[in-house]
Amino acid sequence: MPAVPATLDPVRARNPLFGANRLKLGLFGTNGKGAAQTLVPEAYRPSWEASLQTARMADALGFEAVLAYARWKGYIPGETRHPSGVTLDPFTWCAGIAQATRRLAVIATSHAPTLHPITAAKQCATIDIISGGRFALNVVGGWNKPELDMFGAPMAEHDARYDHLQEWLEIIQRLWREEAEFDHEGPFFRIKRGSSMPKPLQQPGPPIVNAGGSDRGQRFACEFADVCFLILRSEDTADIAAQIAAYKDMARREYGRDVQVWTYAYCVQRASRAEAEEYLHHYSVLHEDGPSLDAWIAGVGSQTRIFASPEATRAARQRFAAGAGGSALIGTAGDIAARLEQLSEAGLDGVLLTWVDFVDGLGRFAEVMPMLEARGLREAFSPTA
Ligand SMILES: Cc1cc2nc3c(=O)[nH]c(=O)nc-3n(C[C@H](O)[C@H](O)[C@H](O)COP(=O)(O)O)c2cc1C
């Protein structure tokens, strides 16, 4: 059963994030360059046409979500035109995508220091109304110090970022729920007679998504998120099951909550496994974007607790190049369906997918969808229903 809060309101219950499919699917990062760090010419670039085309393809396949990430600056200092820094604003992007799609949830990402919570609450409510209750908010502590420094708010120490994020989110959620004006005095925000109208359609508010990976991040996700995004530390199914169970158990035991656990994965689908491996090697090793990868690894390594040691970070270089450290879905349509079933059996509720070339990848992935239905991971879907 999907993790749905017992008191789900009827609008929220229709959000595809709470739908019946055992393994939910989404797109990751099509408001930016996706997740690959590669120099191959077919690599995705976030034009509005490409954003619309990929979101509509995912919607027509029955995907549950598209997640727009928040990126304010690229990874390489001074290289303002580098693809890692060319990102469409997640909120306005989600509003546009909501209008162009029928079913999928639109998820916008925000850090706490980049957007005042009163502004964020209203933007979220507005997109929730535009989308007919299909919005969700991904709240992140962030890791890219130069981008947060641009806001004149030097990036806080790692765990303090989550304290900031918590206060920011609590204000937003009060603005979504409460009719009466309220005052708020905290270490990060001072609000006088705060209120926000109209309210979001979903009550008590749109679902919250978070990707906290550290001890503090896990605690935050278990306490506040409906969907926890994990960066899987291993490709071993037993390890993955343990990593997922740690979140679900903590959420239940310590906060009395049921959470979904999702991850993200890069997909290379070809007619044979050898062909898929060859293309993976081509784009993520022979044509890796070296300077970008070096800068990204340095930033993520110093500002997050994603990887246990510098050695683990270095060992994961190809995964970073292939899909920002996500999991690998490599091979034929059948291989990919089988791996997704293993992940589902390990307790995973959803996967955000990325490709080097999303249009090509989504076209091929159409072959995987009926296989997921046949394996009982997803219900039969018709785009015209
Ligand atoms: C699916 C997913 C989406 C993320 N989106 C963003 C983002 O849009 N912007 C950002 O700065 N960080 C993003 N992150 C990184 C998180 O902010 C965070 O740094 C990371 O998950 C490590 O967690 P930790 O700080 O608890 O170690 C994302 C991570 C994942 C797994």
228 in any annotated domain: yes
Look at ligand 1, atom 1, and give the residue with the nearest C-alpha: 229
Query: Which of 140, 144, 250 has most ligand 1 atoms within 8 Å of its beta carbon, as the pocket-test mutant?
Result: 140
86 in any annotated domain: yes
Domain of 113 in residue numbering reads as: 10-374
Alpha carbon of residue 130 to chain centroid: 21
CATH of the domain at 147: 3.20.20.30
The dihedral through the CA atoms of 148, 229, 206, 104 has a sign that is: positive
Write the pLDDT tens digit of every residue in 212-222. 999 999 999 99
Write the pLDDT tens digit of every residue in 249-277. 999 999 999 999 999 999 999 999 999 99
Q: What is the pLDDT of residue 8?
A: 74
206 in any annotated domain: yes
- Closest to 34 (Cα-Cα) out of 284, 270, 279: 284
Residue 362 Cα to ligand 1 midpoint, Å, equals 24
Residue 140 Cα to ligand 1 midpoint, Å, equals 6
Write the pLDDT tens digit of every residue in 105-161. 999 999 999 999 999 999 999 999 999 999 999 999 888 888 998 998 767 788 999
| 143 to 45, 155, 157: CA distances (angstroms) | 23, 8, 10
166 in any annotated domain: yes
- Closest to 67 (Cα-Cα) out of 45, 40, 93, 39: 93
Lowest-confidence pick of 235-239, 241-245, 310-314, 365-369: 310-314
CB atoms within 10 A of CB 243: 21
Calpha distance 152→143 (Å, rounded): 15
CA atoms within 13 A on the CB side of 329: 27
With a cut of 70, say whether residue 6 has pLDDT above it. no
Question: 73-86: b or e for each residue (b if 16 or more CB lie within 10 Å)?
Answer: bbbbeeeeebbbbb
385 in any annotated domain: no
4 in any annotated domain: no
Residue 67 Cα to ligand 1 midpoint, Å, equals 12
The tally of domains found in the chain comes to 1
Q: What is the pLDDT of residue 307?
A: 63
Atom of ligand 1 nearest to the CA of 140: 17
Q: What is the pLDDT of residue 2?
A: 46
Residue 12 Cα to ligand 1 midpoint, Å, equals 25
Calpha distance 300→71 (Å, rounded): 14
With a cut of 90, say whether residue 340 has pLDDT above it. yes
Please give all residues whose beta carbon lies within 6 A of any atom in ligand 1, as ranges: 69-70, 109, 140-144, 211-214, 217, 229, 231, 264, 304-306, 352
- Output the CA torsion 41→47→49→50 (10° steps): 50
Write the pLDDT tens digit of every residue in 190-242. 999 999 999 999 999 999 999 999 999 999 999 999 999 999 988 899 999 99
Write the pLDDT tens digit of every residue in 172-182. 999 999 999 99
Q: What is the pTM of this model?
A: 0.95
3 in any annotated domain: no
